[in-house]
Amino acid sequence: MSVMESILEQVKKRNPGEVEFHQAVEEVLQSLEPVIAKHPEFVESGLLERFVEPERQIMFRVPWLDDNGKTQVNRGFRVQFNSAIGPYKGGLRFHPSVYLGIIKFLGFEQILKNSLTGLPIGGGKGGSDFNPKGKSDNEIMKFCQSFMTELYRHIGHDLDVPAGDIGVGAREIGYLFGQYKRVKNAYEGGVLTGKGLTYGGSLARKQATGFGVIYFTNEMLKEHGLSYEGKTVVISGSGNVAIYACEKAQSLGAKVVAMCDSTGYIYDKDGIKLDTVKRIKEVERKRISEYVKDHPEAEYHDGQKGIWTIKCDVALPCATQNDIDVKEAQQLIDNGVTALGEGANMPCTNEAVNLFLDNKILVAPAKAANAGGVATSALEMSQNSMRLSWTFEEVDEKLHGIMVNIFKAAKDAAKEYGMEGNYVAGANIAGFLKVADAMMAQGLV
């Protein structure tokens, strides 16, 4: 049994049933084989065993009263995975699917993603199995206050800086920050990112992940003599990442023809009217099916997976993990897709990614392509520390530069280790080497 196989077996044994975490670790370890061959000191020092083991895992109960006066109890999580290059940084996810394995997979991915930004932030993630859908603002506030009443003990601007993720937007961050400020009796603006603009938030943070996906994939396309101009694009999801990926892709001349939510997808052959999607999702908080009421020429279909049967040049999965399996990957390949950019975290199974790579499809991996959100969160931390606010243009320019640098790092690492054009492996290697060097320098901790 090889070193990598041994470590993966140990991960599965120590973390039974946590299939998403197993998948994330397996995908990264596969990419690191040539790195370990060149750097035997990483094996001799036990670095890999430490790399796949979180520094700290926190679980706690979250009791709160609903609008009927009934007690509800959810479970809260924070996994502080790796602080070798900076304080833990990663979002909070509120969704009924959340359990420890999801949080660990996200935290593990976050280590490499944060490393790739070039900014001094470590990897962590948190959340709860609380479902904000269908809850009143008052219920969400009560939940967030109860959640933060425990979480505040474990975070800080030089320790661990959470942000938003699925189910946690500006409203939830506001309630969380208010409760943190109350229990700490201090205004520590840098303890959370994704804040409102009136209390320390950053311009362009809302757009950052979606814009970053397009900035990265555009660099990838240019590297191979392609561009977004005139390309047909399909985007899964209709949250922040999907909406702003759509906006930026359209600005570069692409025609986005499909978007979705968890219930179904819309297809508009003439191109998605983004203002309608923004109103439905950001203002009215309704289902994507409402789109066809304003645009009857468009089609709505039940079931999210069908979106991958639509013919496109570029696919951007921006919804959730494991959205694309081998079946969907083959459909995209058969329909002539040339490039795929992962806007969500691990939206493709490992088998699907391998199928894309085997068929010479350009793949922009999540930990590189969707790093724009956490990069801009780190820029928000910088502004908070300096008591400054940069303009939208300043932040967007910095974000664009970061994404270009991430692409270059992934490209160069892939080439150096004999996998030119494989940006999946390149991103894993480039992100890992920075963290590994820091861990080696800091000794056995």
Q: Nearest CA to 318 among 280, 399, 372, 279?
A: 372
Q: What is the spatial distance between Cα 322 and Cα 334, in angstroms, rounded to a whole number?
A: 20
Backbone angles phi, psi at 427, to 5 degrees: -65, -45
Cβ 332 vs Cβ 305: under 8 Å = no
- Torsion-angle region of 336 (φ positive above 0: left; ψ -120 to 50: alpha; else: beta): left
> Which residues on adjacent β-strands are paired with residue 260?
265
How far is residue 37 from each of residues 2, 4, 43, 238, 265, measured CA to CA in Å? 12, 11, 9, 42, 45
Residue with tokens 């199928």: 355
Task: Answer whether 286's CB lies under 8 Å from 276's CB.
Answer: no
Distance CA 421, CA 417 (A): 11
Distance of CA 121 to the CA centre of its chain: 15
Q: Which of 89, 125, 206, 434 is catalytic?
A: 125
206 has catalytic annotation: no
Distance of alpha carbon 296 from alpha carbon 289, whole angstroms: 11
Maximum distance among all Cα pairs of the chain, rounded to whole angstroms: 63
Distance, C-alpha 316 to centroid of its chain:
13
Active-site residues, by number, are 125
